[in-house]
Structure formats: C-alpha cells, structure tokens
Structure 1
Amino acid sequence: MSEKKYVVAIDQGTTSSRAIVFDLEGTPKNSHQMEHEQIYPKPGWVEHNPMEIWSRVQDVIREVLDTNGVKADEIGAIGITNQRETTVVWEKATGKPVYNAIVWQCMRTQDFCAEWQKKEGWDKKVNDLTGLVISPYFSGTKIKWILDNVPGVRAKAEKGEVLFGNIDTWVTWNLTGGPNGGVHVTDVTNASRTLLMNIETLKWDKEMMDFLGVPEAMLPEIKPSSYVYGYTPESGPFGTKIPVAGILGDQQAALFGQTCYSPGEAKNTYGTGCFMLLNIGDKPVRSKNGLLTTVAYGLEEGKAVYALEGSIAITGAAVQWLRDNLRLFDDAPDSEYFAAKVKDSGGIYFVPAFSGLYAPYWDMSARGAILGLTRYITKEHIIRATLESICYQTRDVQAAMDADSGVPLKALKVDGGAVKNNLLMQMQADILGVPVVRPVVNETTALGAAYAAGLATGLWKSTEELRKHWKVDKQFDAAMPADKREEMYKGWKKAIEKSKGWL
C-alpha cells in the first residue's frame, strides 16, 4: 500500500472539464482542462453531449496522472464538483443517453413555467417546499420535457430502466463502473437545485414529483456531500480502486473551499456572472428579497447547512462584451488599465441587463442601458462604469442577504477569474463598505470538492483543520467615505429603475 498523499478533484463546468490534484496542504500540484462543444439547436436552447463530457473527464484524469510524480495509488480520494441543474437521462443497461444534456441556461421550458406561475398558490408552495422559484433554470422542468418529448422514455422511467442525474450523478455513475455496477447517487447540494427535493426533509418530495410527472424510480439516492459513495474500478481511467467521496455543486463547492463554515460567512465568485452565497446555519430561512434558499453542504445523513444564494447573470460577460462587440480593448485584463486612467465614471451608470435582471429583482423584461451620458464621457469612463456595475450588483445581493438573514456581512471572500483585477476588488470593498478578501488558492471550487472527499476518507480530520489551510493573498479595505458610497449607490438604484420593464 502506498502512502496517500493526494486528493483529485474533477470540476465539470459549463464550458470545460478539469482534473486538479491537491496535496494534503490543499495546494494544487497539477491540473488539466479540456473544453466541450456548446450545442444551440434553437434560439434560447442550450445542450451538451453527455458522452463527450464523460470522454473529456476521462482524458483530463489520464493527463494529471504520472505528471509531477503523482501516481494513482497515492490518491486517497476523488471529489466531484459540477455545473448545477444541467439534466441527463440515460439507459441504465447501456449507459447511453436518451437525449443530449439540457443545460442550466436552456430556456426551452419557459412557456411551461409561465403557465405554472399563473396557477394560484404555486409560487409560494414551490418556495416553501424547495426554497427555489418557478424557473426554467432548475432541473425539474427539464426532466419533464425529456419525458414528454422523447418517445418511449416515460414508460422506461416508470420501470427504472432509465436514470436521471445532474452532471455530478452522471460522472459518478460512470466513474464507479457505469452499466457494470455504477452507483446512482447525488448529494444534497445538487438535489436542492432540481425543484424535486424537499428543503426541510432532504428527501424527494412527492407533491413536486407528482406535479412534474417525474417517477421516483429514475431519481438518484440523496447522500451527504462528504461520503464514500463507491469506488473506481481497475478498468476505469484511474486504473486502480479509489473512493469517490465528495460531491458538491460548483457554487457550494466554492463556499466549502473558502472555508465558510460559520453562519454569516459569505463568498462571491466572479465569472461570466456572479454567484454570492451566505452560510445561514442549520435552518432553511426563506428569502423575502428575491434570493434562493439552497443547501450549502451536508456532512452527515439527514442534516444540512443552508445558504442564501444570489445569482447575477452578467458581470464578467459585460467586460467580454466591451472587448468583443465594442472592441474597446484586446484582452479582458486591459479593462483594469483603462479604468484606472480616470478617477471616476464621469456620472454614468451601466446596467448590463442583457438577459434581464436576476437576483434580487427577477425582471426578465429589463434590458441593458448606459445612463447619464454627456460629451465629457470617454471610453475609459464606460470601462470603469462596467467594472462598477459588477460591484453595484453584488451590493444589491448583499443588501438582500442582510435583510433576509439579519446577519450583517463582516467580510467578503472572493474567487473566480476576475479577482485578479486589483482595481475591481478595491471598488468592491468601497461600494460594499466591508473588507474584500482574496485567498492564495483561487481554485476554490475544485478545492471544496477535494476537501469534502478528504474529510470522508479521514485524510483531513475536521473543518477546523481545513480552515488552517486557507491563506489570504490580499485584503482590500474600504477607503471611500460613507456619504460618497451612498450617493453613488443611490444613482445606481435610479439607473436600475430606468432599465426595468423595457420589453
């Protein structure tokens, strides 16, 4: 028996799959990433090929083995983190998907959701039972679409001959043997994004299953986020038996990797959009301010720690729009250089509501706007206003979290691609009025999955031990006077009102 020195995290995201090897200090040793195809069959529809995803996952695993001296028999556990809500239905006997994966961004069930919202009492009932809102975003209506539109699948689902899973379940099933004894499981965080799990009992909810017409026979077993689900076979990509022992949806994994284990601790992930999660402890408080109640993680059967989640659709994507559509600069990091050339945004506000406004407004008829333009405004002002819009939208979510939880934010831990932008991080601290803290290891999503797997297998003993690994790269303290901050934020709220109800 070799000594166990490493944990591997598989991070299956919206555009790519990665494998990252961490040592027992939580330091990344090596990683490999591969993209997969985005399929757009109709406007507003988004799909992935599940077989391509599984193929990419196997490829990235093989690439990280035997690199930098990492050997398969030194890996103590495997953790999985994934793009949430994306829906796969496949044949149990063959492992063949009955349809492409329907991606979280896909809007094909929008009309069904609009009709559902008209049914009296259902908005409140869905929120009470699941912590979520009626939306095409979540898995439940996507499963219904496959059962209603792919011939013969419903009959097979009722007999348990076809299986449903989000990407975590699909990868775990294949990784533990697929048609030859693959384990059909999900964890509480992913199950909490389906519209089918009861947020209180952490079990599949009969009323939601009946309404959406989803047979329980096709659903995976719900387990904690840190648990030995099964083992890789010797015939698999690892070539040896290793426990698969951690599963967390990507945003929850980032919260876990940022060691936000106490109520009142929050993280914000800056990517294409932003996702802010606040640990609210062991009671699933429902939001009155447009946030989702979700499971943050579960470390033992039947128990969970909950979070409030605010999702913002367009943040980093607005910077990409300046680069690709307006051609204001060549590379996204250049936005920091240009924005720093002016001392403020010259009185303009940019509301990047390209696909409506998400949390806390939920106005899908809003559209993007730049307000307050005069001839004084230059390209640099527009770029700076775009960075400010990321910070204002985060403040909108933070204000909603404060109101819902009664726990004022003390500091914000940050991760994701855009946190390398020091100017953006300083602006964020100024607009929130609390410190913004950037960690040394920015791969917090993968790290969270690795931590969950290492805890389940005894490689780490406690969450307290994990906290000790978390190290600050830089803390940005608010330097703006409070009256200036409030005056600027008042202008933002005015701009938001102008962008609403455009369609």
Structure 2
Amino acid sequence: MAPKPSHLMEIIAEATTSLFCFIYTGKPLHNAIVWNDIRTSSTVDRILANIPGRNINHFKEICGLPISPHLPALKIHRLMENVLAVKKACKGNRCRAVTVRSWIISNLIKGKLHVTDVTNALLTLLMNISTLQWNRTLLNAFSIVAEMLPQIRSSSEIYGKITDNRTSLLSIKISGILGNQQASLLGQMCMKPRQPNTYSDGCFLLCNTGNKSIISEHGLSTTIAHKLGPNSPTTYALKGAIAVAGHALKWLENQVHILPRAVDAAKYAAAVFTTAGVYFVPAFKGLYALYWQKNARGLIIGLTQFSTKHHIVRAAMESICFQTRDSVKIMYQETEQEINKLHADGQLSTNNVLMQLQADAVGVPLFRSQLFVSISFGVAMCPAQAIGIDLCRFAPDKKEYSNVFYVKFNPASTAEDRQHRYGKWKRAIQRTFNWAIRPKVKSSPDSERRTPLSLLDDFELRKLYSNIFLEEFTCHEMMEYEIHLTQSSAEGFKPMHHIFYTTHYVESNELKLNK
C-alpha cells in the first residue's frame, strides 16, 4: 500500500560517527570516522596542549562532557587537518560537517535541510548545554566554524518532507530525531529518575535528572534525555558510557577463538560458578566513564594453571557488570536518589546469565524489557508527539505503565561477596591506566621527537630493523628513530653512518619504513 501523507518518520542512527560532505550534492568527501575509532587520540593531545593543566574536563561546565577521542569535535578537527579534500572544501565554504543522522536527513530532503536535534548536538562537544546553541568558546577551541554545522532543533517537530524520488517514502514527514540511548530511556518509560542500561557493542547507563542538568564531578557525562517539541522543557540525564561490552565477546570469538560464537557466551559462563579469581578489563579503546583513560589498554589478570576458557568468558561478562556498577554508584551520589532497580535492553540483554551477573554485581533487581530493543518504542514516541499524539500519556506522577512488561532478575549475591569482587576489579582496572605510549605533540621541537636508540653493531642493526616491523605502536603520531652506527677502534667508538628512519601509522595497521 502506498504510504499516506500522514505517515511520519523518525531518524535514529549511531550518534558520533562523523564525516564531511559537499553542501549541494551531499556526497561524502571521505570515509566516515566511526564512534569508537581511536585515531583521534593524538588529536586530543594536541587540543589539551593548549588547555591549562591539560584538563580533559576544562569545558565540562559548558557542555557536560570531557574531551574524549570518540566525540565528533575531535573527529571533525582531525579530518580538517588530515584530509586534503576537506581542507580545500572548507576554504571554499563548500562542505558541511555532519553526523550520520544529519547526513541522512540532508539526503532525504535533497540538501535543503541541515538539522540535528539537541541530544545529538550535545554529543558533538560543541553545544552549550544550557542555551542549546553552538558555543563560540568550544568552536574556537576545535577550529570549527558554526556555518558548517547543522541547525539545532528539538527532538520532536516537523522538520520537513522527503523529496528524494529515489525512495518509496516520498512526501512522508520527518518529525523526530533522537539519540539511541535517549530512545531507550523513553522506550522503558523512565520519565522519573530511573536507570535503563542498553547492552550492545558498548554499554550506556542513563539516569533521568528532570529539568536539572547535573555536572558530574566523578566521571559521568551530562546529557539531554529529550526535548519533545520546540516549546517543551528540556529533560536532562546523567550518562555512564562503557566503550566495550558486547565487543569483548566478539573479540573472544574472532581474535583469540575462545568462543565458537559470541552468542555462546552464556553457555560458557554458566559452566563454572565463579571466575576463579580471573578478571578481564576490556580497555581495547581506552576507558570511558568513570576513568576517561584514553591510554588504558586491556588486560586479563589472575590466571593460574587451572584457569579455563570458561573462567575467561565469565570474567569478560562480569567486566560489563562491574563497569555498570561504577556508574550506578556515582549516580546515587550525585543525584541523591536511591538506586533500587536497573532496567535493561539491547542485544546483549537476551543473555540471561549476563542479566543475573548484573543484578548480583550491583545488588538490586534488574528488569529486562520484553521488547528487548525498546529503542524502537521510544523512537515511535517523538513523531507522534510532533502531531499531538501522546502514545503513553506522560503522566508525571505515574511510576509504571501497564503496557510495558519486564522479566525480573533478583540479586543472589551477598553484600560481602559483592564488595570483595568489586574491590579486586578496581585493583585490576587501575593496572591498565596509561599503558599506551603517549604520542608527542606536534609543537614539540624535532630534537625532542628523536630518540637515540643505541650504538649498534651490524647484528644489532639487523635485529632492530626487523623489530621495527613487528613492534605494535599504540599511538598514531609519526614515531621517529635516530640510529647511529659506529665502528670500534683503538681510539674508541667512531661514527660510521647516520641513518634517520621514520615510521608512519597506516590504516591497514602495518608500518612503512622510510629511509
């Protein structure tokens, strides 16, 4: 049946994946940088070099966020520095900086509209959390001009009609834009301070704080839950972001082959009663809340000769739960609201063992939505609100809704056991801090960026030459090595050759060695 003009569309996509496109055609100028790409770590260092005390929370009072590699401001800045096509287009004012959401909308309306909503705009690290407008201080810090950014609108209003005749959706109204986790918050009816958790490749815990934006002093981010109309009040939330959740199980499957399939994790974890002292910190891309350690790296600790793959899988699942407990603890402190239950959805929430481990780790009941992906339900609310249809009658004093059903997981652990295991986890996670090499900032003199290695004989040089190819560099800046060849004589060591090598990080994760 052909769609009726009254049909509505909501746009939802991953929030921080960023790219540049031409203004008039919408054609991308390069490949997008996805949300968990850590090549922007070096960009963070260059930005921090100009900030007092290299404080990652320097702008938090303005935007509620720390300076982190996963945020679009860093990705946009990096693209402007490193992609020639972007540099040229920016000079001629011929391009736009977009996230996936705003790019999709622009294409559906043939470039006539460049918009985003407040939930997505805040995540760029460029919006003032109070005024809901692009902030001049933030724009200047990242060398970005407001003209290349989308117009900021509410999460629920009529933005325009689809005019791209390549789709079967012609003339349908686009009437809602919302972040993934914010949609989960709505979909689970968390209209008063409660905590849903979305379990997927990453894990995100949100706590509705009402009309008050609380700037966290202990590692949480402040975000916008929703703004359901141009004249509606803004609802804020605290957010605990975990970079690696389900991705840890995929790593066990694809990289080390401990799991035949990631979906088998529950079976493997249930084969043992505990981790037998094994702890897994999946800091593959650094750590987000509460630590914001971009130079942290993953670790498995506590192994003995009796440790098995089942213990490691269970430890990987517990790592998700312990990181969630981190955020819950701080949410309780900063909202002064008792945390007496958790809500869960997302792909990983179908894992019953994980849900039970989560309830045990935090010590409160966990309610899993029978929708599993309640994001879809939350997404439907925004377009409906835009035309005056209140799907769930947002009664401010109503605590439960009869049309939303849950499966309940009660904690089976004791307070003593929870505290003991959490204490060991905290010891493990601290060992991951600052593990990666910090790249030198570009402004450093060349003399500071060169590392004299040693006085090498021929055998040592060949050994070094091969090791340069094998070494896995964690930083993405150019690493430079200065090698001095010497010759022994009666007078001592004399310079024989001077070779200067430069290694470049390339996207294939290989190294090129240039003489």
- Match status 1:334 vs 2:264: yes
Say if 1:158 and 1:218, in contact at 8 Å, map to a contact too: no
Q: Please point out which of 219, 230, 235 is paired with 1:301.
A: 230
2:38: which partner in 1? Answer: 107
- Aligned to 2:7, what secondary structure does the other structure show? strand
1:462: Cα distance to partner? 5.3
Choose 407-416 or 138-147, whichever is displaced more: 138-147
Aligned letter for 2:415?
A
| 1:201 Cα deviation after fit | 0.5
Give 3-state SS (helix, strand or coil) of 1:88's partner.
strand
Give 1:156 shift.
5.5
The reply on whether 1:406 has 2:336 as its aligned counterpart is: yes
Q: Distance in 2 between matches of 1:159 and 1:355?
A: 35
Task: Name the SS of the counterpart of 2:358 in structure 1.
Answer: helix
Between the aligned partners of 2:295 and 2:82, the Cα distance in structure 1 is: 28
Q: Is the 8 A contact 2:157 2:230 kept in 1?
A: no
- Which residue in 1 is equivalent to 2:60? 127
What pairs up with 1:232-251 in 2 under 5 angstroms? 232-233=162-163, 235-251=165-181
Residue type matched to 1:288 in 2?
A: E
CA shift for structure 1 position 329: 3.1
**Number of equivalent positions:** 430
Secondary structure of the corresponding residue to residue 130 of structure 2: coil
Q: Deviations over 1:189-208 (max 9, x none)?
A: 00001121101110111121
- Contact persistence 1:455–1:462 (CA under 8 A): no
What percentage of aligned pairs have identical amino acids?
A: 37
User: Which residue is 1:253 aligned to?
Assistant: 183
Tell me if the contact between 1:76 and 1:454 (Cα under 8 Å) persists in the aligned partners.
no
C-alpha RMSD of matched pairs (Å): 2.4
The answer on whether the counterparts of 1:232 and 1:238 sit within 8 Å (CA) in structure 2 is: no
SS in 2 for 1:173: helix
Q: Distance in 1 between matches of 2:38 and 2:423?
A: 33
Q: One-letter code of the match for 1:352? A: P
Q: TM-score, normalised by structure 1?
A: 0.79
1:265 to 2:194 alignment: yes
Which is further off, 152-161 or 194-203?
152-161
SS in 2 for 1:279: strand
Cα separation, 2, equivalents of 1:463 and 1:140: 37
* Aligned match of 1:145: 78
Equivalent residues of 1:189, 1:297 under 8 A apart: yes
Question: Pairwise mapping of residues 446-485 of structure 1 onto structure 2 (< 5 A)?
Answer: 446-460=376-390, 463-464=393-394, 468=401, 470-485=403-418
Contact 2:203 2:242 in 1 (8 A): yes
Cα drift, residue 442 of structure 1: 1.7
Q: Deviations over 1:334-361 (max 9, x none)?
A: 2212222222222222222223222111
Q: Secondary structure at the match of 1:363?
A: coil
Task: Output the CA distance in 2 between the equivalents of 1:337 and 1:206.
Answer: 52
Q: Report the 3-state secondary structure (helix = DSSP H, G, I; strand = E; otherwise coil) of the residue aligned with 2:262.
A: coil
Whole-angstrom CA distance in 1 between matches of 2:235 and 2:184? 14
Q: Give 2:210's match in structure 1, choosing from 258, 281, 290.
A: 281
Alignment of 1:342-353 (within 5 A): 342-353=272-283
Segments of 5+ residues of structure 2 without an aligned counterpart are 437-515
- In structure 2, the CA distance between the partners of 1:219 and 1:369, relative to structure 1 (3 Å rule), is closer
Cα pair 1:350 1:385 within 8 Å, conserved = yes
Equivalent in the alignment of 1:486:
419
Q: What are the Cα deviations for residues 67-111 of structure 1, in whole angstroms up to 9, with x where unaligned?
A: xxxx52286210111111222322222222233322222334322
| Residues 1:185 and 1:443: Cα distance change in structure 2 (over 3 Å) | same
* 1:405 to partner: Cα distance: 2.0
Larger Rg: 2
Return the alpha-carbon distance in structure 1 between the equivalents of residues 431 and 290 of structure 2.
Answer: 16
Are residue 219 (structure 1) and residue 149 (structure 2) matched? Answer: yes
* Aligned-pair CA distance for 1:463: 4.6
- The answer as to whether partners of 1:269 and 1:416 remain within 8 angstroms in 2 is yes
Choose 83-92 or 243-252, whichever is displaced more. Answer: 83-92
Counterpart residue identity of residue 195, structure 2: A
Question: Which deviates further from its counterpart, 455-464 or 378-387?
Answer: 455-464
Structure 1 residue 321 and structure 2 residue 251: aligned? yes
Letter in 2 for 1:433: G
The one-letter amino acid paired with 2:13 is N
CA distance 1:475–1:147, shift in 2 (3 Å): same
Equivalent positions of 1:74-93 (< 5 A) are: 76-93=7-24
Task: For 2:209 and 2:59, locate their aligned partners in 1 and report how far apart those are by CA, in whole Å.
Answer: 20
Q: 2 CA distance for matches of 1:400 and 1:109? A: 28
Q: Distance in 2 between matches of 1:461 and 1:160?
A: 43
Letter of the aligned partner of 1:316 in structure 2? G
Post-superposition Cα deviations, 1:100-145, rounded to whole Å, max 9, x if no partner, equal 3222223343223213223216644411111111122111232233
Mapped partners of 1:301, 1:74: distance in 2? 22
Unpaired stretches in structure 1, ≥5 consecutive residues: 1-65
TM-score by length of 2: 0.78
Q: Residue 244 of structure 1: CA displacement?
A: 0.6
d(CA) in 2 for partners of 1:168 and 1:497? 36
Rate the CA distance shift 1:206–1:194 in 2: closer, same or farther, 3 A: same
Higher relative contact order (CA 8 A, sep 6+): 1
What residue in structure 1 maps to residue 28 of structure 2?
97
Alpha-carbon distance in structure 1 between the residues aligned to 2:214 and 2:295: 28
Contact 1:266 1:411 in 2 (8 A): yes
Q: Distance in 2 between the 1:108 and 1:321 partners?
A: 19
Cα pair distance change 1:468/1:75, threshold 3 Å:
farther
Decide whether aligned partners of structure 1 residues 184 and 480 sit closer, same or farther in structure 2, where only a CA change above 3 A counts.
Answer: same
Structure 2 counterpart of 1:281, one-letter code: G
> Which residue identity is paired with 1:166?
T
In structure 1, how many angstroms separate the alpha carbons of the residues matched to 2:84 and 2:321? 47
- Paired amino acid for 2:190: C
99-108 vs 78-87, which deviates more?
99-108
> How far apart are residue 173 of structure 1 and its match?
1.4
CA distance in 2, matches of 1:124, 1:384: 34
2:353 maps to what in 1? Answer: 423
* Aligned-partner residue type, residue 246 of structure 1: G
* Equivalent-residue separation in structure 1 for 2:402 and 2:11 (angstroms): 20
Aligned match of 2:95: 162
Contact 1:163 1:218 in 2 (8 A): yes
